[in-house]
Structure 1
């Protein structure tokens, strides 16, 4: 059980007791991307103290949100079925918070996990269903991702790989995703820089990934 006790009998209070402690939902966010070893979780959350990470993992295990599992002679952490039920909540919270993003501070980083969830939060499946299948190789901040869109389905993998278009961007890509700038304006301003492929596919990217400001 988490240390915080609100002294209230209700679903919202209980949910916050389970996942409302600092760093808890970010751990869940990263595990929504995929199972992680302890060191991978620590690397993906570079400012979390090791004692806090260990405590949060124990609390989330006790709550039935995550579990430890042996895999290839190492221990990994993964979400339980109960924990996976947090996915739509985390995506909705991410979309809500994305609209309030300003310019990043010098000490803020973009991780592959954070960018994956932001893009999943922004994914417009109904718009994507009307567009041809497209793959994007994106380098955003320090994150390398391959996005594969096939109808209403989205797959995001860390790393680089073959794609219809390869581009790079920094945190300014949020302005394209929120519609603050058009695809043409983002290209002209260098917010998005196409390395390889058809530049017009950035228009398709902007239709497919959108969080209204």
Structure 2
């Protein structure tokens, strides 16, 4: 167990668990639906595997997470106590969006953006059984400036190398602008009108593409209803 504040205050007791670095971000990933170790790592790429294992062990010991082993498949699932943290994560996201100010350049990460978008696809809004979306971020310093989402009826794959399928629709965007759209700070319409985002492809796909993605926790209703 971590160090104690030796206070009866329930906030203090909760923070004995959650003020450890990365712990609440691990909970965020679990709230967002990641259950496997490698998926958790993709949402937390700067967290070492050793530290992730330690934080998961601590959360299991605290009754926040249950480790479920089915043969060689191991999943980490939130318990009822863990599920009760969902509104806490949502509230922190909303507070952070409102009060933490403009993102720095070091906060912009196409890998994390694509990972978050891939797990927030609304399959019922995608008008075809299989769609390949190519995202291009010109002018970024990242090695990979092009990314692909391969969307089928039941799954989404994110690729940083060409998957070899015909591209259905192309999105060319500033990394900052698309991140701001995803956070709910910038509207699709505004970004398209300004040229910060360009969508190329069949008109019915271009028109509907913004509806293919549900807003993440922090964006609330700002991304919807444009």
Query: How many Å apart are 1:49 and its aligned residue?
Result: 2.5
Residue-pair matches, total = 191
**Taking structure 2 as the reference length, what is the TM-score of the superposition?**
0.62
1:67-86, aligned counterparts within 5 Å? Answer: 67-86=66-85
Query: How many Å apart are 1:16 and its aligned residue?
Result: 1.3
1:28-39, aligned counterparts within 5 Å? Answer: 28-39=27-38
- Unmatched tracts of structure 2, length 5 or more: 138-146, 159-168
Aligned partner of 1:111 in structure 2 is 112
**Taking structure 1 as the reference length, what is the TM-score of the superposition?**
0.65
Are 1:94 and 1:117, in contact at CA under 8 Å, matched by a contact in 2?
no
Query: How many Å apart are 1:26 and its aligned residue?
Result: 0.9
In structure 1, the residue corresponding to 2:105 is in which secondary structure?
Answer: coil
**RMSD of aligned residue pairs (Cα, Å):** 4.2
1:1-213, aligned counterparts within 5 Å? Answer: 1=1, 3-99=2-98, 100=100, 102-106=102-106, 108-109=108-109, 110-111=111-112, 115=116, 134-135=125-126, 144=149, 158-159=156-157, 167=171, 169=173, 170-176=175-181, 181-196=186-201, 198=204, 199-201=206-208, 209=215
Once the two structures are superposed, residues 72-131 of structure 1 have per-residue CA deviations (whole angstroms, 9 ceiling, x without a partner) of 5222222112111111111221122133352443475252697359979xxxxxxxxxxx
In structure 2, the residue corresponding to 1:171 is in which secondary structure?
Answer: helix
Query: How many Å apart are 1:51 and its aligned residue?
Result: 2.9
Once the two structures are superposed, residues 137-194 of structure 1 have per-residue CA deviations (whole angstroms, 9 ceiling, x without a partner) of 8777768496x9xxxxxxxx6437xxxx875643313444677555433013333332
Q: Structure 1 residues 114, 14: CA separation in 2 closer, same or farther (over 3 Å shift)? A: farther
